[in-house]
Amino acid sequence: FLDKNLKTDSKKPTDRQEIRNALSGNLCRCTGYSKIIEAVEQVVEEIQNGAAHG
């Protein structure tokens, strides 16, 4: 998911609209996507920080 839909190797932080666009093909009726978006933001940040530190 992340590799195909989000630019995780970029130094530019992924914004919420980019995450929403990546999730647009998925349907979730339970959370309104807020927790999912927060989780994706956290994972992307961890990947980007890991890439920056080797």
Domain count of the fold of the chain: 1
Residue by residue, DSSP assigns 34-49 as HHHHHHHHHHHHHHHH
* Dihedral sign computed on CA atoms, order 4, 22, 7, 33: negative
Q: Kindly report, residue by residue over 1-54, the tens digit of the pLDDT.
A: 555 666 666 666 678 888 888 888 777 777 778 888 898 888 888 887 886 665
- Domain residues for the domain of 38 are 2-52
- Using N-to-C axis directions, what is the helix angle for 16-23 and 34-52, rounded to 10°? 110
pTM of the entire structure? 0.65
**In angstroms, rounded to a whole number, what is the distance separating the alpha carbons of residues 34 and 36?**
5
Q: What is the pLDDT of residue 7?
A: 65
Q: What is the pLDDT of residue 21?
A: 83
